[in-house]
Amino acid sequence: MWGSSIVGFGNYHYKYNSGHEGDAPLIGFSPRKDALTLYLSPIFEKKVELLQQLGKHKTGKGCIYLKNLEDINIEVLKEMITSSVNHIKSHYQA
């Protein structure tokens, strides 16, 4: 668990140029009241293209909000998760 409501898988350590650093999950999931929330890297390969193919969703800086899994393309979601994890592993100490 990451905090009180995020189920996280894997972990990595990040450090920004500002000096801020910490640990985060490679991917996170939280079943919120209004939507299922997925926490991914804010940057990953083909992000814009994949989001266009995903189906009905909303986005935040590093998260995707899904109201209903029936409204999305699961294969595209799998590709997004894989791309996000690969980006994190190639840029941070995982």
The answer to whether residues 19 and 28 touch, using CB atoms and an 8 Å cutoff, is no
Confidence category of residue 34, pLDDT binned at 50, 70, 90: very high
Facing residues of 73 across strands? none
Residue 31 included in any domain: yes
Instruction: Show the domain range for 77.
Output: 7-91
Cα 39 to the chain's mean position, in Å?
3
Residue 94 has pLDDT above 80, yes or no: no
The answer to whether residues 57 and 88 touch, using CB atoms and an 8 Å cutoff, is no
Residue 2 included in any domain: no
- As a whole number of angstroms, the distance between CA 15 and CA 27 comes to 17
Integer-rounded Cα Rg, in Å, for the chain is 13
Q: What's the pLDDT at 16?
A: 87
pLDDT above 70 covers a percentage of the chain that reads 100
Q: What's the pLDDT at 62?
A: 84
Residue 52 included in any domain: yes
Residue 26 has pLDDT above 80, yes or no: yes
* Count of domains for the chain: 1
